[in-house]
């Protein structure tokens, strides 16, 4: 059985999203929600694959998305969760409010993995300060950090509309499916409907539970031993690079 392609590819636009496309997608989801990603682009008048729309929304346009550099705490959290969860980025993202799996994945592959391979590097901000990139082909920045501000897009206005139910669905789908696979991760429960207040609560709770779960990490100094151990655990100690 050959699976049909997720969308009709002929004539669909690929590549970076323009500011206009972002606006179309945002306004459509504001009005109609995203009950069906596949039909959404057609109904919204976008020449995009439904998956592409979903990705754009989830990773960049959705309310509550945090942009900018990861804090040291966030990076530590990623490392620790990666120890437990492996490459299950969505599950990791569920413990980092406002961060997306894609972003976390990028950070892991670029910054943290590098750091783990060079454990004697200072912990903080080995990464160069990321300036908000001015977008490539078109002057319309497609990154929310810029475009939102440029357009005066106010996510608080979107909050509370019936269409914006994505927090709970996005995260609960992850956590629900993870249940049973990782019984030791008690904070990964199916979340009820989540509103804006979720984030502050979740930060608090996740920090608390996370501290409990990861006590052992605090036993390490910031030096070689900790990173060595992290790397060993993350790599299941099968393959070791030369230090």
Partner DNA sequence: AAATGGCGCAACCGCCCAACT
Partner DNA sequence: CAGTTGGGCGGTTGCGCCATT
Please report, as ranges, the residues that interact with DNA according to CB under 7 A.
1, 3-4, 6, 9, 13-17, 34-39, 48-52, 54-56, 59-60, 87-91, 101-103, 105-107, 109-111, 114, 127-128, 130-131, 133-137, 142-143, 169-170, 173-174, 177
In this structure, what token pair is assigned to residue 181?
């696979």
Closest distance of CB 98 from DNA, Å: 13
99/227 with CB nearer DNA:
99
117/240 with CB nearer DNA:
117
Axis-axis angle for helices 72-85, 197-213 (nearest 10):
60
Closest distance of CB 193 from DNA, Å: 15
139/219 with CB nearer DNA:
139
Closest distance of CB 219 from DNA, Å: 28
| Spatial contact of 191 and 172, defined as CB atoms under 8 Å apart | yes
Three-state DSSP class for residue 51: helix
91/234 with CB nearer DNA:
91
Closest distance of CB 206 from DNA, Å: 17
Characterise 45 by phi-psi region: left (phi > 0), alpha (psi -120 to 50), beta (else): left
Provide the residue count of the chain: 243
Q: How many CA atoms lie within 13 A of 218 on its CB side?
A: 7
Q: What are the angstrom distances between the C-alpha of 198 and each of 12, 82, 94, 213?
A: 37, 23, 12, 21
Phi and psi at 80, nearest 5°, equal -70, -40
Cα(143)–Cα(133) distance, rounded to whole angstroms?
A: 8
Closest distance of CB 30 from DNA, Å: 17
Closest distance of CB 232 from DNA, Å: 19
Residue carrying the six token digits 């599950």:
91
How many C-beta atoms surround the C-beta of residue 162 within 10 A?
9
| Spatial contact of 216 and 223, defined as CB atoms under 8 Å apart | no
130/211 with CB nearer DNA:
130
89/227 with CB nearer DNA:
89
30/146 with CB nearer DNA:
146
Closest distance of CB 192 from DNA, Å: 16
């Amino acid at each position: 059985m050959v699976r049909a392609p997720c969308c009709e590819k002929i004539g669909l636009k690929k590549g970076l999203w323009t500011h206009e496309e972002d606006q179309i997608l945002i306004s459509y989801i504001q009005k109609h929600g995203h009950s069906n990603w596949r039909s959404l682009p057609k109904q919204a008048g976008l020449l995009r694959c439904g998956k592409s729309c979903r990705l754009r929304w989830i990773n960049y346009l959705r309310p509550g998305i945090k942009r900018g550099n990861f804090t040291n705490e966030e990076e530590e959290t990623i490392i620790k969760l990666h120890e437990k969860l492996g490459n299950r980025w969505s599950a990791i993202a569920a413990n980092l409010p406002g961060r997306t799996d894609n972003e976390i994945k990028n950070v892991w592959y670029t910054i943290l993995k590098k750091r783990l391979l060079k454990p004697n590097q200072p912990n903080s901000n080995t990464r160069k300060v990321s300036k908000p990139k001015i977008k490539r082909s078109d002057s319309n920045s497609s990154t929310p950090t810029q475009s939102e501000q440029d357009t005066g897009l106010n996510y608080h206005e979107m909050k509370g509309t019936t269409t914006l139910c994505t927090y709970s669905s996005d995260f609960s789908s992850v956590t629900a499916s993870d249940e049973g696979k990782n019984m030791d991760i008690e904070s990964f429960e199916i979340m009820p409907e989540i509103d804006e207040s979720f984030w502050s609560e979740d930060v608090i709770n996740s920090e608390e539970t996370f501290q409990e779960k990861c006590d052992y990490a605090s036993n390490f100094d910031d030096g070689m031993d900790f990173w060595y151990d992290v790397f060993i655990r993350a790599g299941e100690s099968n393959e070791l690079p030369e230090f």
